[in-house]
Amino acid sequence: MTKPESPLRRFGAATIALATVLAVAACGPATDNAADDGAAPPAAESHGAHAGASSAPPQPLRAGERFLELKMPEAYTPAPPEGSTDEYRCQAIDPGLTKTAFLTGTQFAPENVAIAHHAIVYAVPPGGAAAVREHDATNPGPGWQCFGGTGVPGADVEEGNAAWVDTWAPGATETLLDHDAGFKLEPGGLIIFQMHYNLLATDGKPAGSDRPAVRLRLTDGTPQTRELETWSLDAPTDLPCADDESGPLCDRAASIADVTKRFGSEVGEFADEQVEECNEGGVPKPGNTQTCDHEVEEPATVFAGFGHMHMLGRAIKVELNPGTPKAEVLLDVPQFDFDNQRLMKLPTPVEIDPGDTLRVTCTHDAGLRKVLPQLSKLPPRYVVWGDGTSDEMCIGIMAVSPRTS
């Protein structure tokens, strides 16, 4: 697979281009997005009690904006692969645009919140639409399985021909952008919903259907409208079983083999790839806290960011040039709550330049496994990077605007 040049480089043996595009930068005043006040989320002990779909009314339309409601034409009943309680299902929908528009707000809404772990909304430009339709037509039922991305060659974020435009977790309210900042959508393009369904409560058995929808806030834009993108900063997850736990999956290699069985070799190999690129000598460092340095290769302005982990996440931080006189904390979530993953606007935009370092640090807690209803029935495991609810991730997603100098 050919991957695009990344504006970031990990300090390590090789580079994996993980920069993705996401129009979630809240660049306007705090009154434009009440959720972006920088307050700490609730304590991590609140993990696991899904807050449900947001019932909050949308903030008023601003001058030149309009809403576009999109809903899948039919419902889908999740069917995880054998031996798994997780399914990633992608479905495509045509927004029917007749002229270019800018996305300035997004509110995703699954119909069946009880089985919705999280969702990602992708935008596919016109050039990738045919590949999406062809892939959809070759898979039975609504949509197709899509662990790790859109699942469509020719419409993939890592290949640079699809964009990640929103992320939803239970309880999330509208992602609202500044009036003059947004993501460009063109006529002939498609929107893809990637739903992560989790059926732990029913041991992987059918638990009803879901018909997801999304409300897009669009504007025609002005000469001053800024196109935004995001940089995805990841770090390894190497979380051993707790001292009082034991079992076959407490072995790291066995856990990676299990991830590979559930999600395929591309996901299963990622844990070792991260260690090689983030840890000196490429040796795993088991523990609650992991970190990774990424070197900036293109000038940009950072406006906002948010952190993504799963149920065992405790804290996430993104720092600029740590350990130097120019050190600055860009994102700090000391009490991570899966149900309150949200964009946080920087008090003041921060300029970054080639040679600068962005460090992401995540802390996970295996002890949470015993107290979370979604995980308490599962056997103990050495937790590595994976797409399932029982696996983990560590991603700091920073919303930026590239600069020419």
| The 3-state secondary structure of 272-324, one letter per residue | HHHHHHHCHHHCCCCCCEEEEEEEECCCEEEEEEEEECCCCEEEEEEEECCCC
The Cα–Cα gap between 81 and 75 comes to 19
Task: Determine whether 101 is exposed, middle or buried from the number of CB atoms within 10 Å of its CB (0-12, 13-18, 19+).
Answer: buried
Residue 6 has a pLDDT of 59
User: CA 271 → CA 13, 252, 284, distances in Å?
Assistant: 14, 10, 9
Q: If the chain, 405 residues long, is cut into consecutive pieces of 10 residues, what is the mean pLDDT of each piece?
A: 50 33 31 33 41 65 95 92 83 96 90 87 92 95 85 78 80 77 89 88 78 95 81 94 96 96 90 95 96 95 85 96 97 87 79 97 96 86 90 89 81
CA distance 79 to 304: 36
- Could you identify the residue written with the tokens 């995703």? 108
pLDDT value of residue 83: 73
Residue 54 phi, psi (nearest 5)? -70, 135
Domains and CATH numbers, the chain: 56-227 (2.60.120.310), 233-402 (2.60.120)
